[in-house]
Chains A and B, each alone.
Chain A
């Protein structure tokens, strides 16, 4: 899960002093005709990159006894969610194709001023118990960059990912032969520097 993190996001996290984190909740959703909004702020002291939201199996819940009952997989219950500038509003029903897969990463910057918003809908007529986990990387509100100095981590992350893109597009633009030559030159330079030490 989240294997894409290892390639490009993890180096940024390490260099910028980020911390991996998650919040796991139990949520009891009453039957409701009116959607209910939930704001989530990972930690007001940090700027956070939300990298995923995963759900356990929704189950019927009896509020009179506290009994958690059988699974309830249905298109009539779920959440809408969005994050300004990063993810459009969309519907995640509590069905197997949503609950059992994580096809794409979320890279949603969130803070006290810009919480992550969930909109819960439950037309099943039943109370539902579900647990969920918010996967987060927390960064200091200011991080140091050797090129740009002190930066907002969100701004620096955009520059960093843009650099990753430019790097690979530049490789694409090189002929295979000149790529080999460029790599050779880099290796020779590195070995020369190592020899000097």
Chain B
């Protein structure tokens, strides 16, 4: 996994948030304690 992605996940889960990774995660998933990471391959 890319270092940048690991760092981002680490920051979000430290806040107690669920992290969702998908090419267009931000358009499909939401929630008060949900962080989305758009990760196209």
Contacts and interface: CB of A to CB of B under 8 A. Distances in A.
A63 B28 contact: no
B32 A37 contact: yes
Contacts of A30: 13-14, 16-18
A36 B18 contact: yes
Contact of A66 (B5, B14, B18): B5
B14 A36 contact: no
A63 B21 contact: no
Given A28-B19, A36-B18, A64 B10 contact: yes
B18 A120 contact: yes
Q: Is the interface of B mostly helix, strand, loop or mixed?
A: mixed
Contacts of A115: 30
B13 A63 contact: yes
Interface stretch (A19-27, A147-155, A162-170, A175-183): A19-27
Contacts of A66: 1, 3, 5-6, 9-10
Contact of A40 (B1, B5, B29, B32): B29
Contacts of B9: 28, 63, 66
B29 A38 contact: yes
A54 interface: no
Interface in A20-67: 23-30, 32, 36-44, 63-66
15 contacts: A23-B28, A27-B19, A28-B9, A28-B18, A30-B16, A30-B18, A32-B16, A36-B17, A36-B31, A36-B34, A37-B32, A38-B34, A39-B31, A66-B5, A120-B18
Interface of B: 1, 3, 5-6, 9-10, 12-14, 16-22, 25, 27-34
Interface of A: 23-30, 32, 36-44, 63-66, 115, 120, 127
Given A29-B18, A64-B10, 17 more contacts: A25-B20, A25-B21, A28-B9, A28-B18, A28-B21, A30-B14, A36-B31, A36-B33, A38-B18, A38-B31, A41-B30, A42-B28, A44-B27, A63-B9, A63-B14, A66-B5, A127-B13
